[in-house]
Amino acid sequence: MKVNDRAVSLLEQYELTVNRTWKGRGAILCDTDRGLKIFMEYPYPREKIILQDALLTHIREAGTTRAESIVRNKENELLCVDTDQTAYVLKDYFTGQECSVRDLQDCRRAVVRLAKLHRLMYLPAYCAQNEVRAFSLSREFEKHTRELKKVYKFLRAKSQRGDFELFLLHYFLPFYEKAKQVSLLVQAQESEAEQEHLQRMGSLCHGDYQYHNILFSAGDEAVVHFEKCVLDSQMRDLGLFLRKVLEKNDWDVNMGLELLEAYDKEKTLTETDRRQLYYRFAYPEKFWKIVNFYYNNGKAWIPEKNTEKLTRVLEQEQNRERFLKRVFQKV
């Protein structure tokens, strides 16, 4: 996401004084009379920001977690729209050190903060009144698996294949079979009752709980970028965070167990939670991402990084399977 200089003029639509601005990562940072703010493009559906604001207001009112808040403009709107209909949002900006995926203490702090957040993130009345629909993991996995099948057929039919394509094709089937197996398992287990339970509970997720969205400062944690918040099992957040951490640490079983225990002490993991985590770890998500990136980008020149990422996935696969067997043996 890029914010152009023309968009900065939209800051005039807010009831604040901007002392100076400077470019950040895909955004404009603003020093204002109301503290530091971040001004960025909002590429998501417009109804999502209403849910995001409701969730952030709920978290802020609880007063236990530092989380961003959205600044409304002079018209009391959550978004400003440029002449080309591009939407922008202005939010609080926090400074701090990103969570380090290789530091066990950092990661433990992050999962404990997540558990505390999850205890707050229930908005049943809001979700019911606004007909917020629950996310379906089975539909997501089914879609990913169809995409894998499509790419496998494409590679098989291709007459001239480059080194990466030959490499990918050689290792494709075991991952594809695993994807099918997990997808079918989730389809069989994801009952209407579970979906209705999510709906009734109003169980919300951050949606993108990764290390760069958790900032440490002065013995506290701030959580940012709730743009992907969604009505789903909260194991979506825990699973994503742990998967990113474990990929960076060769699927270290002891580290994984310590982090799960830290979360469980703050918010008890149910049998359903553990089953959800297993599905999310068992599906070959990283392999699908590599395949999806390859297929949806220009194939005339394939970045060397694709081969490096696939090699890394292959090197870690044995450790990933060992992790699944050790941690989820009772699932």
User: Does a structural domain hold residue 275?
Assistant: no
Q: What is the tens place of the pLDDT at every residue in 27-53?
A: 999 999 999 999 999 999 988 999 999
Question: How many domains does one find in the chain?
Answer: 3
Neighbours of 126 (CB within 10 A): 17
Q: Looking at the structure, tell me whether residues 71 and 212 fall in a common domain.
A: no
Chain position carrying tokens 């008890």: 268
**pLDDT tens for residues 114-140?**
999 999 999 999 999 999 989 999 999
Tell me whether residue 32 is in a domain: yes
**Domain assignment of residue 101, given as a range:** 96-135+192-267
Question: For residue 289, is it within any domain?
Answer: yes
Residues 206 and 111 occupy one common structural domain: yes
Q: What is the pLDDT of residues 196-248, one digit of tens each?
A: 777 788 899 999 999 999 999 877 899 999 999 999 999 999 999 999 999 99
Residues 175 and 305 reside in one and the same domain = yes
Distance (Å, whole) CA 283 – CA 143: 12
Q: Is the residue at 276 inside a domain?
A: no
Residue 277 lies in a domain: no
Is 272 part of any domain? Answer: no
Kindly report the pTM of this predicted structure. Answer: 0.92
Which CATH number is 62's domain given? 3.30.200.20
**Distance of alpha carbon 152 from alpha carbon 180, whole angstroms:** 13
Q: Which amino acid is at 231?
A: L
Which amino acid is present at 325? Answer: K
pLDDT in tens, 182-199: 999 999 888 777 777 777
- The length of the chain, given as a count of residues: 331
Does 89 lie in the same domain as 10? yes
In terms of domains, do 74 and 210 share one? no
Contact status, residue 227 vs residue 45, Cβ threshold 8 Å: no
pLDDT tops 50 at residue 1: no
Residues whose CB falls within 8 Å of the CB of residue 4, separated by 6 or more in sequence, listed in order: none
Q: Are residues 179 and 299 in the same domain?
A: yes
| φ/ψ bin of 250: left (φ > 0), alpha (ψ from -120 to 50), beta (otherwise) | left
Q: Which residues of 40-77 are buried (b: 16+ CB within 10 A; e: fewer)?
A: bbbeeeeebbebbbbbbebbeeeeebbbbebbebeeee
* Residues 6 or more apart in contact with residue 183 via CB below 8 angstroms: 138, 141, 142, 144, 145, 283
Given 63, 93, 123, the domain boundary residue is: 93
Residue 254: inside a domain:
yes
